[in-house]
């Protein structure tokens, strides 16, 4: 409303000052008050526009960040089965896709507000000052939204096509980057590159189509508004010549008439700038409306004394059961190695054990003590509250991630992506101070010595206070692996699950990892590891062979088809071992 009032006030002041000078011969002194008021109105209007821009940009940034957070949290709750199918698509959507939403908040919505305030206010001024001009405006004004609707329907389909092309291009690029070492080793890196170039050309053509429609609609809107204002100007000119209108009213109508169309013109222009973002927002809401798999509500038994039983667990993936009919018992305090060929389902087995992926056949039961040798009191894992289950588990992935911060902060906190990562809380607790990381607990020093991470810390510029991650010192895969193992040793979680901790490591790093695994087992934890190397398998008290088998044609093959894409990421990770 402030903008509408300032627009009308500016038109009145300019018309009054110019009309007085031309028709009455008034000097500068006579119109000084009008000029000062006009200067104040112009300054106020500029200030209002500035405040609107600042507020719009802040609101847009906050909304986009919130949408990203909601999608990430919802995707995490949907689990790996959904992530394997839609993961790269969601990654593209959350980056480039939602960035296109900013023009919607910073340009399109503010213009809609101005259309709802400035346009009615200026039309009302025309009605009170010159009803013939108001009639001309009211007759031509509906043409703008009519043409916007017609052109908008064309833009909507093109924008959706552009978003889909961008998502496919993003999927291909991410897949190519993740598999580039393997493709390079096999000499097959050129063919995927050609595919990415073809998708890039398709994306460029779609983008140019969107711009073509935007320019076309802009020309149409400009033509309609220019023609409408020209009709009013010609009509005013004839009436001024005939003496049927005074100069003040004529100038006022000429200044107000363009302001009637200006908000609608801007809505039309900014609609195309925001159309891509609106298409991305619709995709975001589709993700947020995806039903989350149901979880249990029972508290998890104490894994320090509970036994975990896998009964004929099978998971469908790409026309095969992987694993196929896996049955084993994991007793508290034991060290269990999962072995088997690449693609047999070892990573999938750990996902089932972590409660991230339901078994298509069979079940996982947790038997609390003292019923560990029997089935009395056994609780199905699907009935257990995931939060209470994950609190008792530390997950050490093959390539641990680190967060921007100090080394000590990384060891004493969860790592992002550690799906069931448990904070290194009780054993190595320390509260970092505002200006530094504070004293290093003695337990942490012992844990670092056991994993060999103390050698890594000794080589860092500032020891435990060294910044790592983005903007800090980089750590190799072996160093990150030792950091994750140190975190696991500092944790009080009774179950530690590792995905081939010695993969991609040299002999020296492997020796440190083996020492850390022994230390974890000696501390009374239950340790489950995916193992390929003989040295790691030799540490295990119990070896479980994970196998896969094809699914014969028939109704059960449909289960495999439904679950195949869900396990692409897990199987690809296994095949890289």
* For residue 370, cis peptide bond before it (omega within 30 degrees of 0): yes
What mean pLDDT comes out for the span 243-271?
82
Provide the pLDDT for residue 166.
67
* Chain position carrying tokens 């059961």: 321
State which residues form the domain around 466: 395-493
Provide the pLDDT for residue 160.
65
* Chain position carrying tokens 């006009």: 38
Query: For residue 498, is it within any domain?
Result: no
Residues 221, 131, single domain; the answer is: yes
The DSSP result for 135-176, as a single string, is HHHHHHTTHHHHHHHHHHHHHHHHHHHHHHHHHHHHHHHHHH
Radius of gyration of the chain (CA): 34
What mean pLDDT comes out for the span 264-274?
74
Query: For residue 155, is it within any domain?
Result: yes
Between the alpha carbon of residue 164 and those of residues 81, 91, 283, 455, 547, the distances in Å are 21, 13, 10, 49, 38
How many domains is the chain partitioned into structurally?
3
Q: pLDDT over 70 for what percent of the chain?
A: 84
Residues sharing a CB contact under 8 Å with residue 239, sequence separation 6 or more, in sequence order: 245, 250
Q: Grade residue 527 by pLDDT with cuts at 50, 70 and 90.
A: very high
What mean pLDDT comes out for the span 42-66?
88
Query: For residue 507, is it within any domain?
Result: no
* Residue 417, pLDDT above cutoff 70: no
Residues 324, 202, single domain; the answer is: no
Q: Grade residue 562 by pLDDT with cuts at 50, 70 and 90.
A: very low
Q: Grade residue 515 by pLDDT with cuts at 50, 70 and 90.
A: confident
* Chain position carrying tokens 């908008």: 152
What mean pLDDT comes out for the span 140-169?
70
Residues 188, 335, single domain; the answer is: no
* Residue 3, pLDDT above cutoff 80: no
What mean pLDDT comes out for the span 143-158?
71
Residue range 348-392, pLDDT digits in tens: 899 899 888 888 889 999 988 765 455 567 888 889 988 899 899
Between the alpha carbon of residue 357 and those of residues 83, 134, 280, 291, 369, the distances in Å are 11, 66, 28, 15, 25
The DSSP result for 2-47, as a single string, is HHHHHHHHHHHHHHHHHHHHHHH---TTTTHHHHHHHHHHHHHHHH
Measured distance CA(112)–CA(263) in Å, rounded = 7
Measured distance CA(212)–CA(155) in Å, rounded = 10
Query: How far is Cα of residue 89 from the mean position of the Cα atoms in its chain?
Result: 10
Query: For residue 518, is it within any domain?
Result: no
Q: The domain that contains 173 carries what CATH number?
A: 1.20.1560.10
* Chain position carrying tokens 């000590």: 408
Nearest-CA neighbor of 41 among 255, 270, 264, 250? 255
Query: For residue 449, is it within any domain?
Result: yes
Residues 361, 406, single domain; the answer is: no
Which residue has better confidence, 494 or 140?
494
Provide the pLDDT for residue 332.
92
DSSP letter (8 states) at residue 130: -
Question: Phi/psi class of residue 333: alpha, beta or left (left: φ > 0; alpha: ψ in -120 to 50)?
Answer: left
Measured distance CA(426)–CA(345) in Å, rounded = 34
Residue range 422-454, pLDDT digits in tens: 444 445 654 443 344 457 778 888 888 888 888
Among 11-20, 267-276, 304-313, where is mean pLDDT lowest?
A: 267-276
Residue range 190-234, pLDDT digits in tens: 777 777 777 777 777 777 776 777 677 777 777 888 888 888 888
Between the alpha carbon of residue 274 and those of residues 109, 215, 286, 334, the distances in Å are 10, 14, 19, 58
Query: For residue 546, is it within any domain?
Result: yes
Residue range 532-555, pLDDT digits in tens: 888 889 999 999 999 988 877 655
Residues 546, 444, single domain; the answer is: no
* Residue 571, pLDDT above cutoff 50: no
From 257, 288, 319, the end of a domain falls on: 288
Among 40-44, 185-189, 487-491, where is mean pLDDT lowest?
A: 185-189
């Amino acid at each position: 409303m402030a903008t509408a009032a300032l627009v009308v006030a500016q038109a009145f002041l300019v018309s009054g000052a110019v009309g007085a000078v031309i028709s009455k011969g008034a000097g500068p002194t006579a119109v000084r008050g009008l000029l000062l008021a006009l200067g104040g109105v112009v300054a106020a209007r500029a200030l209002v526009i500035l405040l609107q821009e600042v507020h719009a940009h802040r609101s847009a940034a906050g909304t986009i960040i919130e949408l990203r957070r909601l999608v990430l949290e919802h995707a995490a709750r949907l689990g790996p089965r959904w992530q394997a199918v839609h993961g790269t698509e969601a990654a593209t959507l959350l980056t480039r896709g939602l960035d296109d939403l900013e023009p919607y908040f910073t340009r399109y919505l503010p213009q809609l507000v101005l259309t709802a305030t400035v346009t009615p206010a200026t039309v009302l001024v025309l009605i009170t000052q010159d009803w013939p001009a108001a009639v001309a405006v009211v007759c031509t004004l509906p043409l703008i939204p009519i043409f916007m609707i017609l052109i908008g329907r064309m833009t909507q389909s093109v924008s959706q096509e552009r978003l889909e092309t961008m998502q496919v291009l993003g999927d291909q690029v991410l897949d190519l980057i993740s598999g580039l070492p393997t493709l390079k080793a096999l000499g097959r890196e050129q063919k995927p590159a050609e595919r990415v170039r073809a998708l890039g050309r398709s994306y460029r053509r779609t983008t140019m189509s969107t711009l073509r429609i935007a320019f076309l609609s802009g020309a149409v809107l400009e033509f309609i508004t220019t023609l409408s204002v020209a009709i009013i100007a010609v009509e005013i000119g004839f009436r001024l010549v005939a003496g049927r209108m005074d100069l003040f009213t004529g100038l006022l109508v000429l200044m107000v008439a363009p302001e009637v169309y200006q908000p609608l013109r801007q809505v039309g222009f900014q609609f195309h700038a925001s159309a891509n973002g609106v298409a991305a927002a619709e995709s975001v809401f589709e993700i947020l409306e995806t039903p989350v798999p149901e979880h249990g509500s029972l508290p998890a038994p104490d894994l320090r004394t509970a036994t975990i039983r896998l009964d004929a667990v099978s998971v469908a993936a790409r026309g095969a059961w992987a694993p196929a009919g896996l049955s084993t018992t994991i007793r508290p305090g034991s060290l269990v190695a999962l072995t088997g060929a690449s693609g047999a389902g070892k990573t999938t087995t750990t996902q089932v054990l972590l409660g991230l992926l339901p078994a298509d056949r069979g079940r996982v039961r947790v038997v609390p003590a003292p019923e560990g040798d029997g089935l009395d009191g056994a609780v199905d894992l699907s009935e257990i509250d995931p939060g209470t289950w994950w609190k008792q588990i530390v997950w050490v992935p093959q390539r641990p991630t680190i967060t921007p911060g100090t080394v000590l902060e990384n060891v004493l906190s969860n790592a992002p992506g550690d799906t069931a990562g448990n904070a290194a809380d009780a054993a190595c607790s320390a509260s970092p101070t505002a200006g530094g990381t504070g004293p290093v607990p003695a337990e942490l020093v012992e844990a670092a010595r056991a994993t060999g991470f103390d050698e890594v810390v000794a080589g860092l510029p500032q020891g435990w206070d060294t910044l790592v991650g983005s903007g800090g010192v980089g750590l190799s895969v072996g160093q990150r692996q030792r950091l994750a193992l140190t975190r696991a040793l500092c944790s009080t979680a009774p179950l530690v699950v590792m995905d081939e901790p010695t993969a991609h490591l040299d002999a020296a790093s492997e020796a440190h990892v083996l020492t850390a695994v022994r230390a974890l087992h000696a501390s009374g934890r239950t340790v489950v590891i995916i193992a390929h190397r003989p040295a790691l398998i030799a540490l295990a008290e119990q070896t479980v062979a994970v196998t896969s088998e094809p699914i014969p044609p028939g109704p059960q093959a449909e289960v495999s088809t439904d679950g195949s894409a869900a396990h692409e990421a897990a199987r690809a990770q296994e095949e890289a071992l």
